[in-house]
Structure 1
Amino acid sequence: MGTSASASRPGNIPAGTTSFVGRKNDVAEVKRLLSKARLVTLTGVGGVGKTRLALHTATELRRAFPDGAWLVELADLSDPALLVHTVLEALGVRDDTGRDQVDVLADHLRERRILVILDNCEHLIEACAAAVDRLLRAAPGLRVLATSRERLGIPGEHLWQVAPLPLPDPPRPLPPGGWHGYAAMALLAERAAAVEPGFAVTDENQDLIARMCRMLAGIPLAIELAAVRVRALSLDELTTRLEDSFHLLAKGERGGLPRHQTLLAAVEWSHDLCGSAERLLWARASVFGGGFSLSAAEVVCAGDGLPAGSVLGHLTGLVDKSVLLVERDGDRTRYRLLEPLRQFGRSRLHSMGDEDVVLRRHRDYYLAQAEQCEREWFGPKQAEIFVRTKLEHANLRAALEYCLATPSELRTGLKLAATLWFYWAGCGVLGEGRHWLDRALEAVPDGGEDRLKALWVNGYVSTLQGDVARAVTLLGECRTEAGRAGDEAALAYAIHRLGCNALVGDDVGYAKDLFEDARIRYRRLGELNGNVMLAGIEMAIASIFLGELEEAAALCEEARAIGAAHGEEWAYAYAIYVLALVALNRGEFDLAAGYARNCLRLKRTFNDLLGMVLSFEVLAWIEASLRHWERAATLLGCARRIWQSVGYPMFGSKYFGAPHGDCEARTREALGDRRYAVLSQHGSEFTLEEAVAFALDEVEKAESGPVAEVETVLTEREHEVAVLITEGLSNREIADRLVISRRTAEGHVQRILRKLDFDSRAQIAAWVTQTAVRGERNGGAG
């Protein structure tokens, strides 16, 4: 279920903030390679423009990929085990199960025509090669454009060496206006004019600029670093300083500096022209993963020669020198180092002997942020915390990686992994959360408060993934060890979460006893938070299944009052979901629908798939009770799609499963098998956003589409196939045209026949023609 940059064209390719200079031939060749190869790798030295070329090419190819062009940034990722998690996150795909993540990604890509850019693969080359090889075999419509300093080395890979920008030959003088023919000079001219409006290339200075660009070997990043200096230095001064800086490195190198040394020399030259405080800030900022805020820089980078009050001024100086990029999102301003500059800064930090000190400060800052967010999660800032924590995901990864790779920091890593429970469980980051918790628990096998907390958190996460056996093992260990250690808090949480496993396992009476036990322990401890609220809400669910509606309502009203008093929304949403169940059981359908829709709206804020799918279920049951069979069938289809990503086919077969099965049976009987299948399939083909809009009646056409006009039940891809059938194409020809497998094409044709209740391809062709004629008669309206 992907997100999109716009309603009309899915994808996440960022808009360029500066013009794209040169590379016309490169773009044409990469496009040509992608037309015949499914994996194209752009190679070349750092700073040569591989990423810019990939992004520009993807922008021009968007129309060729109806399912989008997507950028996956890998520069900040150090753990190969999280590669596929990162790809899924970039594509907006949620999967809360414990399934192999490559299989999840393959299922998502299988019938899509999609372009994926894997940017900066060189430090994860083996993991990238293995994942891409599996995905290309599974998804015939997938194209991969990789950027890397070395090839992936798998079958079918085509390479394109990204060369530096063209330069004039030395020492021949350029003819008047000759600089226009060289992209390297054009780039320098444009970037220099951006910082010094009066700057221009003339017939008098073009040979000097040509010499400068030759020294920089036509490498775009090196040219951009030099261009910003025209504000402070004349061209003569700039050229002289470059020559002096490059002389020592070039000495002994036959034919001048190799290109990778040229970039290093240019970066070192730019570094040397920074003030001492700016150089210090550059080195220390290299520890951040992804972007960082001013407040983070003031804590992590300040001190030991860099006062906190001076950090903003020095950040601004590094931005002016094109060392740092500024990224703005609404009222948030963040800073980021380009990858070659980050690597340079990190090497400087290491050589200074300060790396471990700054890494600890980075870790301490994000641990403190996590602890603050954990405290504030039970309160009115939950939605803000969700956004903020997601924004700092790369930095949290970096902090966890540092801790778990450093023997003296393992316990702190365990503490951080456990503290982030609200993010793993509350914000749908289950797979990665379990990865870090598993690593941390393995690294710290002895007891302690932090380990007990990590055990129950991991048990909670495993429960949400549907791995009940693993969850019971972890929670049982926590219960035993907490009892032995006298840790009453960990014992209460372990008992509570064991109750959850009993509930989804249909052992409702035992579950209710465990919830009641946990609630007594929470009260004794004075514990009050979202988890405590959930214990009452989950006990209410058990009460409903035992026929105790009054007790269930009272428990939920208690939880709802606590949530309202504290501004808590995440657990509050589950309370009103259970109130919807109570109202449904009482036959109060309008009240039940209101509760369910409110729950869905709140859970959409947190992208909580479990809360959303439970809302879809109860809304479907309500529609069936009202004999709104078409909406019930469509909602059941929406729910079926989401359940596949949640970790359970359906909570329990007896209690949660019974009303679902009854709703499905009655709806199918009312509509007939064929009509039910069409509508249910239509619901399952909604994106998550479309499904939510349908359930909340936010998009009129989402409701009327599958009911009013039979042709609207075809997906966009099926419409494409139907048109190609009208052109007389065979299944093999359709497969070739759409870049899919023949089996996939055959599947599309069969689904079209079934949905339209046709027996032949000729009927499909006639239907397409008639639909087009009706569209023309209606004035071409869509």
Structure 2
Amino acid sequence: MRGFQGSEPPARETPGTGHRPGNLPAELTTFIGRQQEISAIKRQLARSRLVTVTGVAGAGKSRCAVETARQLQERFSHGVWLVELATLRDPELLEHAVVEALGVVDQVPRPPLVTLVEHLADRRLLLVLDGYDHLVEPCAEMVHELLRRAPRLRVLTAGRRPLGVAGERLFPLEPLGAPAPRPLPAPREDSPATLEVVAAAPVALEDGDAAAELGEAAALFAERAAAVLPGFAVTAANRRQVAEVCHRLDGIPLAIELAASRLRTLSLDQILSRLDDRFRLLIGGSRGAPPHHQTLRTAVGWSHELCTPQERLLWARLSVFAGHFELEAAEYVCSSPELPAEEILDVLTELVAQSVVTREDAPSGVRYRMLGTLRAYGADWLEASGDAERLRRRHRDWCTGLVTWCELEWFSPRQAEVALRINDEMPNLRAALEFALEDDEDGRFGLYLAATLWFCWVGCGRLAEGRHWLDRALELATDHEETRLKALWVAGYVAVLQGDTVAALTVLHECREGAERTGNARAAAYSTHLTGCIALIGDEMERAEALLRDALDRYEKIGELTSNVLMARCELAMAIAFQGDLALAVGICEEVRQACEDHGEQWAKTYALYVLGFSAWHRGDTPAAKEMLHESLRVAHAFRDLVSTVQALELLAGITASEGDPVEAAVLQGAAGRLWRSVGMPLFGSEFFNAPHIHCERQVRERLGPARYREYLRQGERLDADAAVARVLYGRGRPSAVASPRAEGERERLAVGESARRLPLPPAPRPDDESAGGAPQRA
């Protein structure tokens, strides 16, 4: 805290007292967490004479400000003084309240501000103003005058909006950390009882610190719960429920404390089941709490009362957004004659100032959000206004326009921007899909959204979610045949990548019949293309080649050039490479790579690089293979395309084994195995795609032995996609066993023969295959 020492010597204790003067109340409950925030506020107070802690209702602004002041008492020779203003209604009494809190006795008939200035003029003092939101203007005027007239005074304020005084530094106080509960791990095949034993073992807060491991919100919940339910502790058995309660309550301390108090009469599961009506559940705050903090509804309602009619209207309308939203979306969805689009920015700015809405820098740019609790409050008002249905339609229409734009821009230099944007918009897109699919009479919007988002499902790693929405959309009756045909081939696309050929054949057959019936050449081309992909993963390479060439001819006739057309060329190259003609496959993929660079396409390029890397390794050019596969892996992972990511990892595992590092190869195979479970059938169940994996496994097993191979395989299975990719590209985060001296020495001792450095040729053709005599010759 050097910042307090520059202007005068360190403060001394008041003679004869042994402690600093002040009026901070004694705390009745333990203060949990917030040490980083308190340190940051102290640093700000060292640089600025006015610091304001802002945040949503119930975020703990008051406690945080008081605790900060408590830790600073020794720095102020004339004390730390708290002025609580939440219950003060008459602005004329503001200065009187401060005079009274400071314990100043003045019977002279003069304005209280004059008394304050005289009292504070030469004092080194910290003034803490709490709960001033309804008195912002008079409070700002008073603070400005005091700071101007009392040069040694510092002021710490806590409220839902800034004062707006010159020199003010803001400290937005976020809710407590409350991460979403992790999915329960699947039990291992070799030890099915392991999970059960772990789940049954209690981990008390004071012993295993299970609550602290879940974050400060869970630690607060555990502390307050133990006060009303003696013996309560976060254990391995209940940690998931505790985490979910805290996460669904947005980490808001007031809400968490109120939920914990309900354990007097309810179980954790009962609390969770009633959180959909959180405002009814979360009542009964302590008697000593301010009136507007005794229930969650009154705490949020206090913020609502401080808003203007336009701010309340926008608050309610913004509740239709399920997550982050951008300014343009708010202007489109929420505008009306009584709230024109051109005024929304100003109103939104006020909601940000009042901590109702938060501004955030997301990957796709500046966005805004409301915590779930505030959104739920706004949604109640929107429903009461009778305008909820219209706003949800507006929201759906905005999402429809956004998805249309993103699909067009996917095949462009803005592809990476589209991927970031679509990732940020997923909560809103899900809400729009849900609303659209509720329309049993006309499923066109649901079909359109689910189909047009093909690039999201396929290119951004959301195969399972895409299949969920497509299956639901295709159940709806609709007269929009063209949209339905698109949804069918997209559903086939997703099923192919999951290795589910039966489902893929079913929907693609329906698509092809519909295309022939209606003369839809585009749907016919896509159904042919994706049927070729089924042949490719089904190891029917000649049939795959014929179908893919047919599809490419169809695309050319209708003038179709998209990422999917380039993907068809890559898949054709795979079929040709698996038949042994690597030179032709390389030529096709070089053309694809050039086309991608010409159009700014990156996603399809990862598949071209996969084939080029495969071919380079097969001909013994390991450095070139690694360079191309690393680039493919980097871009695929940035797009979250798990299929392209895991294919690159599989080949890189084989290359790593061929370079003499069986331990790392086993780890990479384990990581790939984990990723395949997120995709679908490992290596599509294909003999051809599986060949490098089997060859690598055979090599590594021979050198490590079965037991050690399984050991390092499990090491890899602990890596998620981020860790696995970082490990390959940057060499980070290797498990300790892999970096052991024994493992390092093993790398040096194990020599790999030249024959092991090459990828084996694809499986021999079947006896009935016409090309059994050798690889087909092509012009």
TM-score range, shorter chain: 0.5 to 0.7
Which of 298, 317, 321 is matched with 1:222 structurally? Answer: 298
Query: Which range is displaced more, 355-364 or 467-476?
Result: 355-364
Which structure carries more relative contact order (alpha carbon 8 Å, separation 6+)?
1
Deviation at 1:544, TM superposition (A): 0.8
Is the 1:506–1:652 Cα contact (8 Å) retained in structure 2?
no
Q: Which residue of 2 aligns with 1:428?
A: 461
CA distance in 2, matches of 1:154, 1:348: 28
Q: Which residue of 2 aligns with 1:590?
A: 623
Bigger Rg, structure 1 or 2:
2
Residues 499-538 of structure 1 aligned to structure 2 (within 5 Å): 499-538=532-571
Deviation at 1:675, TM superposition (A): 3.7
Residues 180-199 of structure 1 aligned to structure 2 (within 5 Å): 184=289
Q: Which residue of 2 aligns with 1:646?
A: 679
Aligned-residue Cα RMSD (Å) equals 4.1
Deviation at 1:702, TM superposition (A): 2.8
Instruction: Check if 1:327 corresponds to 2:360.
Output: yes
CA distance in 2, matches of 1:322, 1:620: 50
Q: Which residue of 2 aligns with 1:166?
A: 286
Structure 1 residues 307 and 696: CA distance shift in structure 2, 3 A: same
Structure 1 residues 624 and 118: CA distance shift in structure 2, 3 A: closer
Q: Which residue of 2 aligns with 1:144?
A: 241
Deviation at 1:455, TM superposition (A): 0.6
Instruction: Check if 1:287 corresponds to 2:288.
Output: no
CA distance in 2, matches of 1:322, 1:597: 44
Q: Which residue of 2 aligns with 1:709?
A: 741
Structure 1 residues 639 and 72: CA distance shift in structure 2, 3 A: closer
Structure 1 residues 220 and 155: CA distance shift in structure 2, 3 A: closer
Q: What secondary structure sits across from 1:289 in the alignment?
A: coil
Residues 480-559 of structure 1 aligned to structure 2 (within 5 Å): 480-559=513-592
CA distance in 2, matches of 1:441, 1:140: 40
Q: What secondary structure sits across from 1:291 in the alignment?
A: coil
Q: What secondary structure sits across from 2:630 in the alignment?
A: helix
Q: What secondary structure sits across from 1:327 in the alignment?
A: strand
Instruction: Check if 1:449 corresponds to 2:482.
Output: yes
Q: Which residue of 2 aligns with 1:379?
A: 412
Which of 180, 204, 211 is matched with 1:72 structurally? Answer: 180
CA distance in 2, matches of 1:336, 1:703: 38
Structure 2 unaligned spans of 5+: 1-25, 34-55, 63-176, 187-191, 204-209, 218-235, 249-258, 273-280, 746-779
Deviation at 1:352, TM superposition (A): 3.8
Deviation at 1:620, TM superposition (A): 2.1
Is the 2:282–2:296 Cα contact (8 Å) retained in structure 1?
no
Q: What secondary structure sits across from 2:359 in the alignment?
A: strand
Q: What secondary structure sits across from 1:594 in the alignment?
A: helix
What's the CA shift string for 1:14-41, capped at 9, x where partnerless? Answer: xxxxxxx98946979xxxxxxxxxxxxx
Q: What secondary structure sits across from 1:547 in the alignment?
A: coil
Structure 1 residues 218 and 497: CA distance shift in structure 2, 3 A: same
Is the 1:576–1:599 Cα contact (8 Å) retained in structure 2?
yes
Is the 2:282–2:295 Cα contact (8 Å) retained in structure 1?
no
What's the CA shift string for 1:192-233, capped at 9, x where partnerless? Answer: xxxxxxxxxxxxxxxxxxxxx33x36336634x6xxxxxxxx
Normalised TM-score (structure 2):
0.61
Amino acid across the alignment from 2:680: G
Q: What secondary structure sits across from 1:292 in the alignment?
A: coil
Instruction: Check if 1:473 corresponds to 2:506.
Output: yes
CA distance in 2, matches of 1:393, 1:309: 26
Structure 1 residues 117 and 367: CA distance shift in structure 2, 3 A: farther
Q: What secondary structure sits across from 1:394 in the alignment?
A: helix
What's the CA shift string for 1:87-106, capped at 9, x where partnerless? Answer: 76xx9x9x9xxxxxxx9xx9
CA distance in 2, matches of 1:656, 1:550: 19
CA distance in 2, matches of 1:329, 1:110: 37
CA distance in 1, matches of 2:441, 2:571: 40
Query: Which range is displaced more, 644-653 or 460-469?
Result: 644-653
Deviation at 1:379, TM superposition (A): 1.8
Q: What secondary structure sits across from 1:335 in the alignment?
A: strand
Is the 1:72–1:117 Cα contact (8 Å) retained in structure 2?
no
Instruction: Check if 1:297 corresponds to 2:326.
Output: no
Deviation at 1:164, TM superposition (A): 4.6
Amino acid across the alignment from 1:533: L
Amino acid across the alignment from 2:241: V
Is the 2:441–2:477 Cα contact (8 Å) retained in structure 1?
no
CA distance in 1, matches of 2:622, 2:368: 51
CA distance in 1, matches of 2:728, 2:500: 29
CA distance in 2, matches of 1:504, 1:118: 45
Structure 1 residues 383 and 119: CA distance shift in structure 2, 3 A: farther
Deviation at 1:487, TM superposition (A): 0.7
Q: Which residue of 1 aligns with 2:94?
A: none
Q: What secondary structure sits across from 1:305 in the alignment?
A: coil
Deviation at 1:119, TM superposition (A): 14
Structure 1 residues 516 and 311: CA distance shift in structure 2, 3 A: same
Is the 1:410–1:443 Cα contact (8 Å) retained in structure 2?
yes
CA distance in 2, matches of 1:480, 1:686: 44
Q: What secondary structure sits across from 1:71 in the alignment?
A: coil
CA distance in 2, matches of 1:110, 1:514: 52
Q: Which residue of 2 aligns with 1:691?
A: 724
CA distance in 1, matches of 2:473, 2:546: 32
Is the 1:164–1:220 Cα contact (8 Å) retained in structure 2?
no
Aligned length: 530
Structure 1 residues 322 and 449: CA distance shift in structure 2, 3 A: same
CA distance in 1, matches of 2:616, 2:744: 34
Structure 1 residues 51 and 544: CA distance shift in structure 2, 3 A: farther
Deviation at 1:318, TM superposition (A): 2.4
Is the 1:693–1:702 Cα contact (8 Å) retained in structure 2?
no
CA distance in 1, matches of 2:692, 2:363: 44
Deviation at 1:703, TM superposition (A): 8.9
Residues 311-322 of structure 1 aligned to structure 2 (within 5 Å): 311-322=344-355
Instruction: Check if 1:660 corresponds to 2:697.
Output: no
Q: What secondary structure sits across from 1:696 in the alignment?
A: helix
Instruction: Check if 1:677 corresponds to 2:730.
Output: no
Instruction: Check if 1:403 corresponds to 2:436.
Output: yes
Please list every run of at least 4 consecutive aligned residues from structure 1 whose deviation after the TM superposition is greater than 4 angstroms: 25-28, 47-53, 109-120, 139-142, 148-151, 153-165, 710-713
What's the CA shift string for 1:293-338, capped at 9, x where partnerless? Answer: 2111111111322222111111122233443333344784333334
Deviation at 1:696, TM superposition (A): 2.3
Structure 1 residues 551 and 688: CA distance shift in structure 2, 3 A: same
What's the CA shift string for 1:127-174, capped at 9, x where partnerless? Answer: xxxxxxxxxxxx8695421438899x9998586986654345xxxxxx
Identity over the aligned pairs, expressed in percent?
Answer: 40
CA distance in 2, matches of 1:539, 1:369: 32
Amino acid across the alignment from 1:365: W
Is the 2:515–2:523 Cα contact (8 Å) retained in structure 1?
yes
CA distance in 1, matches of 2:333, 2:178: 32
Amino acid across the alignment from 2:294: G
Is the 1:362–1:399 Cα contact (8 Å) retained in structure 2?
yes
Amino acid across the alignment from 1:426: G
Residues 561-576 of structure 1 aligned to structure 2 (within 5 Å): 561-576=594-609
Residues 43-82 of structure 1 aligned to structure 2 (within 5 Å): 71-72=179-180
Structure 1 residues 110 and 516: CA distance shift in structure 2, 3 A: farther
Instruction: Check if 1:581 corresponds to 2:614.
Output: yes
Amino acid across the alignment from 2:298: A
CA distance in 2, matches of 1:429, 1:467: 15
Deviation at 1:396, TM superposition (A): 0.7
Is the 2:614–2:625 Cα contact (8 Å) retained in structure 1?
yes
Deviation at 1:695, TM superposition (A): 2.0
What's the CA shift string for 1:581-610, capped at 9, x where partnerless? Answer: 111221222111111111111112112221
Amino acid across the alignment from 2:517: R
